């Protein structure tokens, strides 16, 4: 499975949501595809208005969040662009509190999730099992360094774990290509453009546009356009067996 997430699709799907707990936000999904059961990947852009609290919660699927604009607090930690966060299934995190401007981030999942389970209200839905967290600022190249890039390189922000989770930055000079290294246990990954453009099947993808590639596609090439590109890859482990229905 390969799905392309375009900004025009995300903007078309942009909707305003309100919750009883005071959380309000705009959400726009990058994929405009029919439902495909639990195997439908998700990528959506969240705009959290100023001074809004997204309360502590968990999800039943593994996920990444990429903070792209604004500032705020993630628990007690200060967040700003570009920061990446990973939370494993049934791992509580938050609250996410926006500052004086909109806090924007993209959520990525390889498997469909039914929605946030807020704590303590949904504590009865919590399951015992491994709890996985990871967060880190992304060391992006400066514009000048990216423009003058001569050779492709891969920088592991989080080297592959035994379970198949990993985060990497691929830097590709203009008009070249580079093969993505796939962790053996991973069920798939997102490639997210952070700087420059890439080309897939003749279509250009720019800033924050993305591609989901399932593990069946073992030889995926990233191709840059007329300018050098920096691409984030987010590799997903399978759901831990502790959380699977008997």
Neighbours of 217 (CB within 10 A): 14
Q: What's the pLDDT at 104?
A: 98
- What's the pLDDT band for 187 if we cut at 50, 70, 90? very high
- Whether 127 and 162 map to the same domain: the answer is no
Cα-Cα-Cα-Cα dihedral sign, residues 165, 169, 175, 181: negative
Give the integer Cα–Cα distance in Å for 234 and 158.
10
Name the residue among 236, 174, 209 with its Cα closest to residue 4.
209
pLDDT tens sequence across 209-229: 999 999 888 889 999 999 999
pLDDT tens sequence across 125-183: 889 888 999 999 999 999 999 999 999 999 999 999 999 999 999 999 999 999 999 99
Residue 78 in any domain: the answer is yes
Least confident of 30-34, 107-111, 202-206: 30-34
- pLDDT tops 60 at residue 31: yes
Buried b (16+ CB within 10 A) or exposed e, 138-171: bebbeeeebeebeebebeebbebeebbbbbbbbb
Q: What's the pLDDT at 125?
A: 87
pLDDT tens sequence across 98-117: 999 999 999 999 998 988 88
Which structure tokens are listed for 103?
A: 């806090």
Residue 121 in any domain: the answer is yes
Q: Which domain holds residue 40?
A: 7-137
Give the integer Cα–Cα distance in Å for 170 and 194.
10
- Whether 163 and 112 map to the same domain: the answer is no
Q: What's the pLDDT at 1?
A: 85
* Rg over CA atoms, the chain: 18
Q: What's the pLDDT at 244?
A: 83
Residue 245 in any domain: the answer is no
- pLDDT tops 60 at residue 37: no
Which structure tokens are listed for 181?
A: 């290294």
Residues 159/180/59/33 CA torsion (nearest 10 deg): 180
- pLDDT tops 80 at residue 246: no
Name the residue among 48, 45, 140, 149 with its Cα closest to residue 94.
48
Q: What's the pLDDT at 21?
A: 87
pLDDT tens sequence across 47-96: 999 999 999 999 999 999 999 999 999 999 999 999 999 999 999 999 99
Q: Which residue has the tokens 């009865």?
A: 124
Select the more confidently predicted residue: 246 or 226. Answer: 226
Overall residue count recorded for the chain in this entry: 246
- Whether 40 and 119 map to the same domain: the answer is yes
- Whether 20 and 127 map to the same domain: the answer is yes
- Whether 20 and 133 map to the same domain: the answer is yes
How many domains, the chain? 2
- pLDDT tops 70 at residue 33: no
Residue 1 in any domain: the answer is no
């Amino acid at each position: 499975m390969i799905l392309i997430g375009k900004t025009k699709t995300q903007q078309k799907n942009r909707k305003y949501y309100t919750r009883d707990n005071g959380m309000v936000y705009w959400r726009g999904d990058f994929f405009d595809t029919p439902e495909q059961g639990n195997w439908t990947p998700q990528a959506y852009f969240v705009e959290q208005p100023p001074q809004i609290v997204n309360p502590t919660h968990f999800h039943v699927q593994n996920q990444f969040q990429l903070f792209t604009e604004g500032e705020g607090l993630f628990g007690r930690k200060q967040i700003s662009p570009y920061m990446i966060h990973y939370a494993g299934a049934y791992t509580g995190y938050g609250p996410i509190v926006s500052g004086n401007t909109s806090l924007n981030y993209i959520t990525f999942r390889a498997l469909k999730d039914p929605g946030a389970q807020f704590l303590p209200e949904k504590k009865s839905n919590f399951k015992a099992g491994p709890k996985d967290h990871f967060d880190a600022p992304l060391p992006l190249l400066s514009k000048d360094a990216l423009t003058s890039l001569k050779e492709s390189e891969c920088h592991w922000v989080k080297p592959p774990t035994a379970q198949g989770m990993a985060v990497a930055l691929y830097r590709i000079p203009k008009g070249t290509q580079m093969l993505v290294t796939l962790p053996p246990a991973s069920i798939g990954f997102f490639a997210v453009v952070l700087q420059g453009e890439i080309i897939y099947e003749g279509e250009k993808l720019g800033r924050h546009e993305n591609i989901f590639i399932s593990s069946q596609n073992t030889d995926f090439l990233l191709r840059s356009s007329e300018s050098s590109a920096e691409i984030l890859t987010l590799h997903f482990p399978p759901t831990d067996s502790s959380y699977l229905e008997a």
